Amino acid sequence: MTRPRGRAHHDHDDREPQGRGMRPLKALLSFDDALALAMDAARPVDRTEEVPLLDALRRVAAEDVRSPIDVPLVDRAAMDGYAVLARDTFRTGKFKPVTLRRTETVYADGVPRKRVTAGRCTEVATGATMPSGADAVVMVEDTEREGDEVKVYTPVHPGENVSLRAEDIPRGSDVVARGEALTPAKLGALAAIGRDRVRVYARPRVSIFTTGDEVVEPGGPIRPGQVYDINAFTMASLVRENGGDAWLQGCVPDRLEDLKAAIGKARDADLVLFSGGSSVGEKDMILDALAALGEVLFHGIAVKPGKPTVLGRVSGTPVLGMPGYPTSCLSNCYLLLAPMLRRMARLPPAAGRSVEARMAKRLVSAIGRVEFHTVRLADGLAVPAYKESGAITSMAHADGYIEIPANVDLIEKGEVVRVVLF
């Protein structure tokens, strides 16, 4: 019958086939312990590649980038207007303009030829190189012009409306540091110093297998005793959203030799994912395959749904065996796979958006077990959407999930919870 459950790791004997019927899941590892083992097994990828700038969006820089130039390259006008000697304007006012003589016009791409001296000015466009002598720009709005006579109605101080050479990015300064995720603005800064390519860390390569003789690919016919493969698509989606490259490898029969061959075939992957085959059925051979080829790190975790999850390692590559049930599989993708992948991809931990909402009804949870509850959002309320772990619509028709920690057994109606959006 049932054996005592505890927080012990499985020892090797527990993983051997019993040869007489199905093997119960026994000692469940706490979710936190499982996550810690998983994070330890998930090593940041060291491979790098150089990519065109735009392809680097949200990738992680694998080089420290220093600027080879000053940005701006030279002192530039920061406004359309007139480059002046500031002291020529000190005594101006709304009713007592000073009149300066325009000697030249410099557009953004132009090069000034004339020096600005007392009583003179150069018309400048935003971005234009400042003429020598001038130390400020009067905005066009604060002037009035007749031919080459420019009336200035407002004083400016030295440096006003001027972008100084190097004030944005001095030559030799750090623009992007290794390990930073590249935002739109960081790509902009790389462009600003003339970079059109950047070295980034390679995406973790994730081989995805679905096990089970009953599983068939969508797109074809189905007969009783068969189900369409759901998990390959949800796992691949989570892999993509967390910085990985998903390699769909199709369905593998739930036989030891086939599973061993699949793991062998995934030699180039940084992470191998299976779904199905980690429960307690006689035909769930993934444990045996892992034990034969490498080691089992855990089997069975205190999380609902998603208990029959297995983590192993073969030749240094983590192999994660997800439950076959679509909702169990996908919830563990959110709780376990996503943090592993983000670590491998060197991305910051948090991925999705979350919102606060009040529970629409009381929610009871088991102590000692992390629970994953899907909810719909309606008028600021979180309404439980969970059907059962086999039902993909528990998640497809929900807006997000709440994670109830192992030490919480109850969320009262009206309590504020954080909903991570799908």
Considering only residues 296 to 335 of the shown chain, the ones binding a second copy according to CB under 8 A are: 324-326, 330, 333
Q: Which is nearer to a second copy, 11 or 146 (CB)?
A: 146
The least distance separating a second copy from the CB of residue 315, rounded to whole angstroms, comes to 28
197 binds a second copy (CB under 8 A): yes
Q: Which amino acid type is present at position 329?
A: C
Can you tell me which residue has the tokens 């390699």?
Answer: 247
Q: Which stretch binds a second copy (CB under 8 A): 83-91, 278-286, 298-306, 402-410?
A: 278-286
Contacts with a second copy in 391-410 (CB under 8 A)?
391-393, 395-398
Look up residue 95 and give its two tokens: 């009713």
Q: Which is nearer to a second copy, 37 or 156 (CB)?
A: 156
The least distance separating a second copy from the CB of residue 290, rounded to whole angstroms, comes to 19
Q: Which amino acid type is present at position 305?
A: P
96 binds a second copy (CB under 8 A): no
Please identify which residue in 22, 36, 118, 367 interacts with a second copy, judged by CB under 8 A: 22
Q: Which stretch binds a second copy (CB under 8 A): 42-50, 137-145, 266-274, 408-416?
A: 137-145
Contact between 61 and 179 under an 8 Å Cβ cutoff? The reply is: yes
Q: How are beta strands 215-216 and 227-228 bridged, if at all?
A: parallel
Please identify which residue in 13, 268, 379, 388 interacts with a second copy, judged by CB under 8 A: 388
Please identify which residue in 49, 63, 168, 288 interacts with a second copy, judged by CB under 8 A: 168
Q: Which helix (H) or strand (E) holds 370?
A: strand 370-378
Please identify which residue in 32, 33, 49, 214 interacts with a second copy, judged by CB under 8 A: 214
Let me know if 293 is exposed, middle or buried by CB neighbors in 10 A (0-12, 13-18, 19+).
middle
Beta strand spans in 115-270 (E)? 120-124, 136-139, 143-146, 149-152, 162-163, 174-176, 197-201, 205-211, 215-216, 227-228, 245-252
212 binds a second copy (CB under 8 A): yes
108 binds a second copy (CB under 8 A): yes
For residues 138, 142, 147, 148, the Cα torsion angle rounded to the nearest 10 degrees is -20
Q: Which amino acid type is present at position 132?
A: S
Please state, in angstroms and rounded to a whole number, the distance separating the CA atoms of residues 94 and 315: 79
25 binds a second copy (CB under 8 A): yes
Number of residues that bind a second copy (CB under 8 A): 114
Q: Which is nearer to a second copy, 314 or 326 (CB)?
A: 326
110 binds a second copy (CB under 8 A): yes
106-109 contacts, C-beta under 8 A, 24 or more apart: 106/77, 106/131
Please state, in angstroms and rounded to a whole number, the distance separating the CA atoms of residues 241 and 235: 10
Q: Which is nearer to a second copy, 190 or 314 (CB)?
A: 190
Closest of 341, 373, 361, 378 to residue 413, by C-alpha: 361
Q: Which is nearer to a second copy, 307 or 346 (CB)?
A: 307
339 binds a second copy (CB under 8 A): no
Q: How far is CA 30 from the centre of its chain?
A: 26
Please state, in angstroms and rounded to a whole number, the distance separating the CA atoms of residues 334 and 401: 9
The least distance separating a second copy from the CB of residue 142, rounded to whole angstroms, comes to 7
Please state, in angstroms and rounded to a whole number, the distance separating the CA atoms of residues 261 and 207: 13
Q: Which is nearer to a second copy, 188 or 414 (CB)?
A: 188
The least distance separating a second copy from the CB of residue 40, rounded to whole angstroms, comes to 26
Binding track, positions 238-277, relative to a second copy; x by CB under 8 A: x-xx----x-x-----x-----------------------
236 binds a second copy (CB under 8 A): yes
Please identify which residue in 40, 46, 282, 415 interacts with a second copy, judged by CB under 8 A: 282
Binding track, positions 72-91, relative to a second copy; x by CB under 8 A: xxx-x-x-xx----------
Look up residue 56 and give its two tokens: 């680097």
Q: How are beta strands 29-30 and 301-304 bridged, if at all?
A: parallel
Please identify which residue in 89, 92, 129, 332 interacts with a second copy, judged by CB under 8 A: 129
Contacts with a second copy in 46-75 (CB under 8 A)?
53-54, 57, 69, 71-74
Contact between 118 and 84 under an 8 Å Cβ cutoff? The reply is: no
**Cα 305-309-312 angle, rounded to 5 deg:** 160
Going from the C-alpha of 121 to that of each of 90, 99, 138, 144, 376, the distances in angstroms are: 15, 10, 10, 13, 65
Please identify which residue in 6, 16, 119, 226 interacts with a second copy, judged by CB under 8 A: 226
Please state, in angstroms and rounded to a whole number, the distance separating the CA atoms of residues 399 and 384: 10
